[in-house]
Structure 1
């Protein structure tokens, strides 16, 4: 997808459980809006009425016997609708889109965590997205044990949060491997630090990106 002068930008937030994405989502939105950026906030899975129904199925602990392939296909079904209905129209109209998770999460959770071959995921990625990719991906990274402790303090666990620690170790490894493969768009946030320190890191990333895009 080629850029035009008025094309918006697509920013994604990634990270394992308890990494602080939700805690900092509003902060990032406010920083971008204060910079004068026209912004749309969305999430995956979800982002559309159809996608939110898929999200409910994916996160429901009662669906513990869902196969890995079914999970993967549901993720991309919701993503296809999300792209066509929300993300691509917004970007083409000049809006910036801030999305809580995107395809990197699929490589991390379904690829790393579930063990689905990355080549199989890539086939679906190319089918659904063509060459569309995030302009910036912010990865909140921290020790898995700390992240699970934080997630456990939030209340009832969803279907993914109930996985074993080894699952999330694989998720983290897959995320970091994605960073190594595509350093041009990834920025890693040390999410083990105190909130003020995390937000200073975010300030630097956001200021640098906005300045470069103007």
Structure 2
């Protein structure tokens, strides 16, 4: 694939995707952004979504707040960068909604796809880099964090989320690449770089 690309890094909490997205964006001089919170408006929406004092948010409300963040993000950051010829690397994307609110919260995944296709104006990532991390590594990393509302949602929720990511990756191999997060940060980064280079040559 030639030209600017919209690349999303996805994975479970604590998988290392934020670190790897930043490394890859720097390596290729891409625009680095994130969902949620990639715009000023999105940052305010993110505060609501991650606020640990909120215990009664309806899953549908959660999904719609995420979609609102995404609509602003694509309009303000992603689409203008692509139009200017810049590749965009995003720490999370629409697929996090499918994993978290769809598989995790058990909302209808097809309905979420329709809602988010409208929110994005049909602009979905060209490539999804799924960082698949062993459960024990994630558990160790999470044990040292002050957990936000999603991170504290419980093991069953997070098991459904990671199963959702794996299901989506297996169902769409032309768009997704899976990288096992085993080894040092530099080793994982090299695996990501090599996998993306191979995908680009298809």
1: CA distance between counterparts of 2:11 and 2:141? 13
3-state secondary structure, aligned to 1:66: coil
Asked if 1:183 corresponds to 2:173, the answer is yes
2: CA distance between counterparts of 1:107 and 1:11? 17
2: CA distance between counterparts of 1:83 and 1:203? 25
Q: Structure 2 matches for 1:10-29, cutoff 5 A?
A: 10-29=6-25
1: CA distance between counterparts of 2:189 and 2:4? 24
3-state secondary structure, aligned to 2:98: helix
RMSD value over aligned CA atoms? 1.9
Which residue pairs with 1:156 in the alignment? Answer: 146
| Alignment TM-score, normalising by the size of structure 2 | 0.92
Which residue pairs with 2:130 in the alignment? Answer: 139
Q: Deviations over 1:169-192 (max 9, x none)?
A: 100110011112211011101014
| Alignment TM-score, normalising by the size of structure 1 | 0.87
Q: Is contact 1:144-1:165 (8 Å) kept? A: no
Q: Structure 2 matches for 1:67-106, cutoff 5 A?
A: 67-106=58-97
Q: Is contact 2:51-2:148 (8 Å) kept? A: yes
Listed as ranges, the gaps of 5+ residues in structure 2 are none
How big is the shift at 1:25? 2.6
How big is the shift at 1:144? 3.1
1: CA distance between counterparts of 2:37 and 2:10? 15
Which residue pairs with 1:206 in the alignment? Answer: 196
Which residue pairs with 2:33 in the alignment? Answer: 42
Question: Aligned pairs, how many?
Answer: 202
1: CA distance between counterparts of 2:151 and 2:116? 24
How big is the shift at 1:209? 4.6
Which segments of structure 1 move beyond 4 Å, counting only runs of 4 or more? Answer: none
How big is the shift at 1:26? 2.6
2: CA distance between counterparts of 1:163 and 1:193? 28
